[in-house]
Amino acid sequence: MSTDRVAYRELRDWKYSIATSFETGTEIASEEIIRADLDYVVLYPDGRLCIKKGYAWNGASGPTFDTPSWMRASLVHDALYQLIRTGRLPLKTRAYADTLMREMCLADGMLWVRAWYSYLFVSAFGGFFVRPEKDRPVLYAP
């Protein structure tokens, strides 16, 4: 798993747009991948997740706030949730996306208590956000 920082800029309709393409490893097995590609998010059979320059996401959600230790995890988590929402990954990968978010937060220096309550929040309420009707078009913000 990469611990590289994410370069991004703030937006109006969405919170952030990724300024450079970003790639990280996941443990999502190739047999779980249904058709894991969108215009700006691609999950390869070897588990590599590539998020292309211009992808927009909303950063932290719920009872928390955006900090440097949150940005990479929220980007990857939002991208994986979008792949689930659009039917490109099975719903069972949601638990892994939530766990990966927590691990990235901790690796990026977040206090363990904050990483755990963020994880508990998405575990409890994230199911609402992976429903297909919650999907909205990916914004490209060059």
Up-side HSE of residue 34: CA atoms within 13 Å toward CB?
A: 13
> What single DSSP character describes residue 35?
S
Give 39-97 pLDDT, tens digit per residue. Answer: 889 898 889 999 999 898 888 876 667 888 999 999 999 999 888 888 888 888 999 99
Q: What is the pTM of this model?
A: 0.80
**What pairs with residue 43 in β-bridges?**
49
